[in-house]
């Protein structure tokens, strides 16, 4: 039986994956780089700095100083913050509130495993802060997703063995991180993009507590 569920935030609990995309696209355009949704799949789950590097890699002729990079990251984050300013409880994806309630009822621990430094602000705005037994601060782990560090940090802090954990992710890098951590991976989104997940749902409304427990009991990794 699982003892800990670790949720990604952007694109799992709420639609902020979209606002990240809009902000990156805008920033990239300013330096003459076009990004599309397909490329964006490779940015999902990836830290701010690593995302910028991936974007800059699209134009090998650009050589920016550390200050210029910091400036671009600030620009992106300012634009992103503007977009999420008025986020509210109604923006929580379908099924998420019910799942959090069920987990609490069943005494299963809950953690947030987001790569985003904006995560504490968002869960506060969504008024779901109180559900989380632990929120990973991405600045305290050595490697970002697709490395397993963020997920393992949550389990370590709460004293739960990795094989008793379930991770929920919308990102290719995030599912890889969960798998590398030795946890059960649940993908939310496209079945082809997320084919490396142990179980995929297309929509958060399909994240049913009983089904997940069933999968957990039946999938031997
Ligand atoms: C992840 C998002 O959750 O957080 C990425 O999927 C984002 O798109 C990353 O780049 C870092 O977020 P932030 O808010 O710290 O720039
Ligand atoms: Mg995500």
105 belongs to the catalytic site: no
106 belongs to the catalytic site: no
DSSP state of 91: G
Task: State yes or no: cis peptide before 146, omega within 30 of 0.
Answer: yes
**Which helix (DSSP H) or strand (DSSP E) does residue 27 occupy?**
helix 16-30
* Per-residue tokens: 43: 């940015």
Nearest atom, ligand 1, residue 174 CA: 6
Dihedral over Cα of 10, 197, 55, 36: its sign: negative
Q: Which residue has the tokens 């902000």?
A: 23
What is the distance between the alpha carbons of residues 178 and 176, in angstroms, rounded to a whole number? 5
Walk along the chain (221 residues) and give the pLDDT tens digit of each residue. Answer: 999 999 999 999 999 999 999 999 999 999 999 999 999 999 999 999 999 999 999 999 999 999 999 999 999 999 999 999 999 999 999 999 999 999 999 999 999 999 999 999 999 999 999 999 999 999 999 999 999 999 999 999 999 999 999 999 999 999 999 999 999 999 999 999 999 999 999 999 999 999 999 999 998 54
Nearest atom, ligand 1, residue 170 CA: 6
**Distance from residue 44's CA to the centre of ligand 2 (Å):** 6
- What pairs with residue 167 in β-bridges? 6, 185
- Residue 205, pLDDT score: 98
Residue 148: φ, ψ to 5°: -80, -5
- Residue 220, pLDDT score: 54
- Residue 219, pLDDT score: 80
- Residue 4, pLDDT score: 98
pTM above 0.90, yes or no: yes
**How many beta carbons lie within 10 A of that of residue 143, not counting itself?**
12
**Distance from residue 202's CA to the centre of ligand 2 (Å):** 14
């Amino acid at each position: 039986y699982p003892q800990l569920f670790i949720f990604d935030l952007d694109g799992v609990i709420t639609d902020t994956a979209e606002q990240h995309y809009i902000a990156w696209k805008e920033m990239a355009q300013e330096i003459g780089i076009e990004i599309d949704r397909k490329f964006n799949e490779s940015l999902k789950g990836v830290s701010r700095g690593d995302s910028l590097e991936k974007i800059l890699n699209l134009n090998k002729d650009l050589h920016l100083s550390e200050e210029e990079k910091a400036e671009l990251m600030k620009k992106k984050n300012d634009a992103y913050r503007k977009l999420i300013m008025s986020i509210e409880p109604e923006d929580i994806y379908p099924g998420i509130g019910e799942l959090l309630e069920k987990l609490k009822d069943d005494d299963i621990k809950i953690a947030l495993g987001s790569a985003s430094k904006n995560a504490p602000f968002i869960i506060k705005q969504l008024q779901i802060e109180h559900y989380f037994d632990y929120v990973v601060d991405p600045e305290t782990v050595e490697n970002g997703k697709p490395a397993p560090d963020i997920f393992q940090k949550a389990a370590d802090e709460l004293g739960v063995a990795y094989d008793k954990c379930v991770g929920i992710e919308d990102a290719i890098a995030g599912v890889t991180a969960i798998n590398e951590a030795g946890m059960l991976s649940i993908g939310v989104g496209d079945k082809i993009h997320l084919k490396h997940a142990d179980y995929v749902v297309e929509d958060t409304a399909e994240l049913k507590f009983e089904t997940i427990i069933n999968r957990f009991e039946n999938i031997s990794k």
